[in-house]
Amino acid sequence: MSVQATARIVATPGGLPVLAGDGPLALRRTRATGPGHRVTVVGAMSAPLGGDRLAIEAEASDGARLTVDSAAATIALPGRTGARAHYDVTLTVGEDAVLRWLPEQLIAAQGSELRMRTRVELAATARLVLREEQILGRYGERPGTLTTRLTVHRAQRPLLDTELSCGPGAPGGWDGPAVLAGHRAVGQLIVVDPEYDDIPVDARSLGPAAVLTPLAGPAVLVTAVAEDARALRGVLDEALAQLHR
């Protein structure tokens, strides 16, 4: 039997008035290392399985500071029917609010098929740090099929819209030199900050398989591929440190 579940988080400067987990998406208020609130997503059961439809909605209202992370990696697994699983993330960040979205890796296990969609709506003065990491297959196994799409709007205008499909069900060429080039870990980091309007960041390479690109707005995008999850995290952590975030 497939699972449909939605978890919701709403942060205000004074607290977390909404913290509602559902099904496999359990939410825990955890200790923040800086100002603001921190919520950790804890997997209450194996998910997403084929046919599941999961969603997380997180909002940092005007003036709030919110960090969302996860206790462990998310593993997409095949279900009994072979149906595709869906995982939707919706993030909303208000005026003068800060959202740090830093989950652990998403692993596409052999035989799985997952479509993940992340939508971000930012106010004009909002700040965002968002990290996504995808790992194709567990150790020693072939990857599942994974399609991810990330769209970011700022002040109701498009800032970023990017999609990646990989695995045996993806269009040809996904493993070629123009995309993953044989790597099994891929990730991106986007940082949005109004300060970049006055102090822009130049495009640059971050090693042999990573690049930092300024966007057409006060934002930068880091894209990287690596041999494994550990190497990928190292590249993205170094990029975040260089951006002083």
Phi, psi of 242 (to 5 degrees): -65, -30
Phi, psi of 19 (to 5 degrees): -150, 85
State the pLDDT at residue 16.
97
Please name the residue ranges forming H helices in the chain.
Answer: 229-242
237: left (phi over 0), alpha (psi -120 to 50) or beta: alpha
Q: Which tokens sit at 151?
A: 């769209």
Within 10 angstroms of residue 171's Cβ, the number of other Cβ atoms is 8
Q: Which residues pair with 154 in a beta bridge?
A: 122, 157
Phi, psi of 101 (to 5 degrees): -105, 105
Q: What confidence tier does 61 reach under pLDDT thresholds 50, 70, 90?
A: very high
Q: Which tokens sit at 90?
A: 């919706």
118-122 mean pLDDT: 98
pLDDT digits (tens, 9 = 90+) for 127-181: 999 999 999 999 889 999 999 999 999 999 999 999 999 989 788 788 888 788 8
- Whether residue 200 is predicted with pLDDT greater than 70 in this model: the reply is yes
Tell me the percentage of the chain whose pLDDT exceeds 90.
75
With CA atoms as reference, report the closest residue to 7 among 49, 31, 37, 43: 43
pLDDT digits (tens, 9 = 90+) for 4-26: 999 999 999 999 999 999 889 99
State the pLDDT at residue 136.
94
Which is more confident, 12 or 197?
12
Angle at 43 between CA 130 and CA 23, to 5 degrees: 110
Q: Which tokens sit at 199?
A: 């102090």
